[in-house]
Structure 1
Amino acid sequence: MIRSLFVALRLWLLLIAFVMAFVAAWALPVLLPLVQIALGVFLVLIGIDGWLLFRPTLGNRTAFFARRDVPDRLSNGDENPLTIYLENHYPFRTDVDVIDEIPFQFQRRDLLFRDRLNPNETKTIRYELRPTKRGEYSFGAVNVFVLTPLGLLKRRYQFETGKQVAVYPSFLQMRQYELLAATNRLTQVGIKRIRRVGHSMEFEQLRPYATGDDIRTINWRATARRTDGQNASLVVNAFQDERSQPVYCLIDKGRPMQSPFDGLTLLDYAINASLVLCNVALYKQDRAGIMTFSNQLGQVVPADRRAGQIGRILDALYRQKTRFQESDYELLYTSVRTHIRQRSLLLLFTNFDTVNGLRRQLPYLRRLAKDHLLLVIFFDNTALRALIDQPAQDTEQVYQKTIAEKFAFEKKQIVRELQQYGIQTILTAPQNLTANTINRYLDLKARGLI
C-alpha cells in the first residue's frame, strides 16, 4: 500500500503555502489560530483523500483497471497502432496519468497520457510506435496514477507487467500493397500501369477494350454479337501471363548494407521490399524464394507457391543480420548454381559505391546473367543528392559539392557498366525501393522476359 502511494503536485503547493502562512503568522500573531485551523482541515482532507483512494471495493473487482492491447508482432519501419483501455470503478470522477513502459529500443521517455474518467466510464488511449530494428522487444508495465477530485494524493496501479513482442519485416507494407492490388489502386503508391508488349498464347477470357490494349487482340466476332443499336462496345481477348516462373530475392548482408537511412539500414529496406515483392509474385502465380549471403551463405528458401510460403519467407527474413564483412560474390555464384537449377528472375539487393568495387564482382554477375535474368538493385545516396542540389556559399561548400558530384557520377557509371553486359539495373532512393522494384518486376513480366 505504501509503495503505491504518491504525493500530487497540489499537495506540495499547499505545503509551501502553509510554510509561508506560518512565516506570516510569526510576524502577525493574530493569524496563527487561523493558520492552525486551516492546517488541521488540510490534514483531515489528506486522510479523506487517502481513504477514498484505498477504500475497499465490493467483490474481487479492483477500483481501477487498465489493459494494453499490443499485437504479438510489430512491423519494422511502420507505424504500429497500440491501445490502452481504462476502466474507472470508483464512485467518483478520477483524473489519471498513464505511463506506458515501452521497450528501450524506442528511446522515448515522453510517453505520458492524461485523461479524466467519470464513475464507471471506459476510455481508450491510442498511440503508435515505429520500430527500426528487427528482433525481440520487451514491454514493461502500464502505470496508472489515479487522483480523486481532491487531488492531494495519487495511487499507482500497475498492469500488464512484462510482455515480449517480435518485430518482423514490414508485413504491414506487404498487406497494404496486397489490398491496393485487390482493389486496383496500386497507382496510389507509385506502381505504374504496365502496357503489355507481348502475351502468351493461352486464352483466359473476353473483356471490354481498355485504352492501351493491343488492337490485334480485338475479337471482332464477339464485338459484333455485343453491338446494340448505335452502342458498339469493343471486346478483346485476354491471355494469361506466364505462371510458375521462379523469382528469387538475393539479399546482400555485407558491410555496405549497414548504411542507415531514416532510422532503418539499407538491409532492412531490402528485406521489406523483398517481402512485398515475394507476396506480389505469389499473387501473380509465380514461385517466390529468397537467398541471403555475405562472406557466408545465409538463409535459403526455395522458390515455391504453396500455401504458407510467404510465412516461411517472413520467418527467414526476420533472423537476418548484417555481418559487417565484405560479401563473397564467388560464393553467391556457386550457391545459385547449387540451389537454383531452373532459369529464374534473380533480384540482387546490394550496394556499390564505386566502379572499381563493381568491377571486382562483375565476372560473377556476368556468369549469373548468362544462366538467369539478373536484376541488380542498388541505392542512390540521397544525402549527396541534397548536397548537390543545394547552392554553394563558400569555397568549402564548393569542394564538398564537387566530391558529391563525383560520387553521384560513379553511381551512373555503375548503371552503364552493368547495362553494357545486358544486366538489368535499378538505382533508387531507399524510400522508393519497393515501388520501383515492383514496377520493374511487372515490366519484365509484361515483356515476357521471365
Structure 2
Amino acid sequence: MTMKRTNGWRLVMGLALALIILGLALRQGTFIALALPFLITLAVGIYTSPNPQNVRLNAQRWLSREQAQGSEEISVTLAVLNAGERLDQVQLVDRAPSGLKLVRGEPYRSGPLAAGETLRWEYTASAERGLFTFSNVHASVTDWLGLTCLELDLPALGRLAVLPGYEKLEEISIRPRRTRVYAGTVKARESGAGVEFFGTRQYQPGDELRWINWKASARREASAQAQLITNAFEQERAADVGIVLDARQASYVQDGDRALFEAAVRAAASLARLLLRLGNRVALLTYGDFLAWAVPGYGKLQEQKILESLTPVSLGNSAVFAELDNLPVRLFPRGSQIVIVSPLLEEDVPFLKHLRAQGYQVLLISPDPINYEMKRLDRRVAAVELAERIARLERETVLTQLRRAGIQVVDWDIEHPLRAALQGALGRRWARWRSMR
C-alpha cells in the first residue's frame, strides 16, 4: 500500500509556487492572491485524500476452466468488494500473466465505489500453451480532485494450464523390431490372428475353414502330397514407442514468436495422442535445458500426462545437452520405436545412425526451418536466394544420409498440416506400395 501524489498535484503545486515566486520578485500582491485558489485546492486534496486505514477492498477471481486446450477461450471473472467507506474514484487493473491474449472485454474497470458495493466485470482471453498464474488486482484509489492516489494490490489468485493443441492424425505405419504381447495395430512379423496376408501353412485342427487356401491345397493334391493348406495372417500387437522432443535453442530459428518450436510441440502432442489411441505404450522425453521424462503408459490417462508434460516446455541452451549424444536411450526398450521431433542439426546425424544400428526403429519428424525462415525474407535479393539454395542442399544431404541408414524421415513444412506430410511418407497405402517395389 503506497500513497502517491499525482501529476495533477504536481501541476497545481507548480503553478502556486510560480505565482508566489513571481509576486515576491515583482513585489506584486496580485500574483500572490492568484496563488491562493491553487493552495486551497491542495488543502482540499490533502483533506479528502483516501485514508489507508479506511480503504478495505477484497477481490475474488473465477476462471471458466482451470485447464484448457491450446487457443481455447477462457473467461476470467473478477469481483471487488468495498468493505470500507465510500471511495470517490477507483481504478482496478487485473495483472494478467504474460502470454495470454485478450479476446474480448477489458482487464480493467474504474469509477466510484460506494460502501458495501461490489464491482464485477469479465473478460475473455486465450493462449497457445503454458502454465499461467494470476496473482493480484492492482487498485488505485484517488480523491475526487485526482490529486492524491493510494495504490495497493488485492490478492486474487488463480491458476490456468493451457495444454498444447493437437492435430487429428490418421493411422500411420510403424514397424518396430519388437512388439508387446497385447493386441494392437503394429505388425508383429509373426503369423497369427490378423487381417493382412502373411503366408501359408499346413492346415491344423481348429483352424477356421474359411481360411483354407483351396488353390494351394489342389496343387498339393496334384503333386501326390494331399494335405490342406490354410492362409496365415500377420499378428497385430501393441508396441513400445518413445517420443523425443528436441527443445535445444540451437535447433530452432531465432524468432520472436517461436512458431517453429510451437509446431514441434503440437506435433509431439498429436503423435502421442494417435499412438496411444492405437493401443501402444508411449513415453515422452523432452531434451533441452534439462530432461523431462513421462514414463511409459497406456490410454487416456497417459495422454493427459504427456500433454501436461508438454505444457510448460520451453527452449533451453544447456551445454550438457547441446548434442543428442547425451540422449538416455536406455530409457527405451531395445528394439522399440523412437520418434524424434526436431529440425535437426548436422552434428546429430552420427548419433541417429548409431541409434538405428542399436536396433531401434527411428522415425524423424523434422519441421523445415528453411521454408519457415524464407517466408520472412525477400527472395528477390540475390544473396538471399543463394543462401537458400545452399541451405537446402545441406539439409537435403543430411536427410538423404539418414534415409540411407534406414531411418524414416518426414520433412515437414509447418505451413501445411502434419497429417498430409505423414500420409505422404508413412501412410499404409504408401507403405504397401513401397513393399511391392
CA distance in 1, matches of 2:33, 2:309: 77
Identify the residue that residue 267 of structure 2 maps to in structure 1. Answer: 273
What is the identity, as a one-letter code, of the residue corresponding to 1:65? N
CA distance in 2, matches of 1:77, 1:19: 58
Identify the residue that residue 408 of structure 2 maps to in structure 1. Answer: 424
**Residues 290 and 441 (structure 1 numbering): CA distance in 2 closer, same or farther, change over 3 Å?**
farther
1:282-301 deviation per Cα after TM superposition (whole angstroms, max 9, x unaligned): 34554432245689987362
Secondary structure of residue in 2 paired with 1:46? helix
**Kept in 1: contact 2:61–2:158 (CA 8 A):** no
Identify the residue that residue 367 of structure 2 maps to in structure 1. Answer: 379
- Whether 2:330 is the aligned partner of 1:348: answer no
**Residues 361 and 266 (structure 1 numbering): CA distance in 2 closer, same or farther, change over 3 Å?**
farther
Secondary structure of residue in 1 paired with 2:165? helix
**Residues 441 and 302 (structure 1 numbering): CA distance in 2 closer, same or farther, change over 3 Å?**
farther
Identify the residue that residue 412 of structure 1 maps to in structure 2. Answer: 396
CA distance in 2, matches of 1:6, 1:112: 23
Identify the residue that residue 391 of structure 1 maps to in structure 2. Answer: 380
**Kept in 2: contact 1:257–1:322 (CA 8 A):** no
Deviation (angstroms), 1:322: 5.4
CA distance in 2, matches of 1:262, 1:441: 31
- Whether 2:120 is the aligned partner of 1:123: answer yes
Identity of aligned residues (%): 14
1:303-356 deviation per Cα after TM superposition (whole angstroms, max 9, x unaligned): 422x52124324555578654322128963x654xx155x64x322233344xx
Deviation (angstroms), 1:154: 1.2
- Whether 2:48 is the aligned partner of 1:49: answer yes
Deviation (angstroms), 1:254: 5.7
CA distance in 1, matches of 2:374, 2:134: 39
| Number of aligned residues | 357
1:37-82 deviation per Cα after TM superposition (whole angstroms, max 9, x unaligned): x2563244124422xx22876xxxx543334567998889979868
**Residues 49 and 276 (structure 1 numbering): CA distance in 2 closer, same or farther, change over 3 Å?**
farther
CA distance in 2, matches of 1:87, 1:157: 13
Higher strand proportion (structure 1 or 2): 2
Higher helix proportion (structure 1 or 2): 1
Deviation (angstroms), 1:145: 0.9
**Kept in 2: contact 1:301–1:313 (CA 8 A):** no
Deviation (angstroms), 1:420: 4.5
CA distance in 1, matches of 2:404, 2:29: 99
- Structure 2 unaligned spans of 5+: 101-105, 173-193, 197-235, 433-437
Alignment of 1:159-308 (within 5 A): 159-160=154-155, 171-174=163-166, 201=195, 244=238, 246-252=240-246, 256-257=250-251, 260-264=254-258, 269-292=263-286, 299=293, 301-305=295-299, 307-308=300-301
**Residues 173 and 93 (structure 1 numbering): CA distance in 2 closer, same or farther, change over 3 Å?**
farther
What is the identity, as a one-letter code, of the residue corresponding to 1:29? G
**Kept in 2: contact 1:68–1:82 (CA 8 A):** no
- Structure 1 unaligned spans of 5+: 178-185, 195-199, 203-241, 393-397
Identify the residue that residue 418 of structure 2 maps to in structure 1. Answer: 436
Deviation (angstroms), 1:14: 1.5
Identify the residue that residue 402 of structure 1 maps to in structure 2. Answer: 386
Deviation (angstroms), 1:417: 3.9
Please tell me the root mean square deviation across aligned C-alpha atoms, in Å: 5.0
**Kept in 1: contact 2:9–2:147 (CA 8 A):** yes
What is the identity, as a one-letter code, of the residue corresponding to 2:325? D
CA distance in 1, matches of 2:46, 2:328: 75
CA distance in 2, matches of 1:114, 1:24: 42
**Residues 363 and 295 (structure 1 numbering): CA distance in 2 closer, same or farther, change over 3 Å?**
farther
CA distance in 2, matches of 1:365, 1:11: 71
**Kept in 2: contact 1:380–1:428 (CA 8 A):** yes
**Residues 56 and 291 (structure 1 numbering): CA distance in 2 closer, same or farther, change over 3 Å?**
closer
What is the identity, as a one-letter code, of the residue corresponding to 1:391? R
What is the identity, as a one-letter code, of the residue corresponding to 2:40? V
CA distance in 1, matches of 2:164, 2:29: 71
Deviation (angstroms), 1:413: 3.1
Identify the residue that residue 144 of structure 2 maps to in structure 1. Answer: 149
**Kept in 2: contact 1:5–1:156 (CA 8 A):** yes
Deviates further, 82-91 or 66-75: 66-75
Residue among 85, 94, 99 paired with 2:78:
85
**Residues 99 and 76 (structure 1 numbering): CA distance in 2 closer, same or farther, change over 3 Å?**
same
1:2-39 deviation per Cα after TM superposition (whole angstroms, max 9, x unaligned): x6322122222211222233345444424544543x25
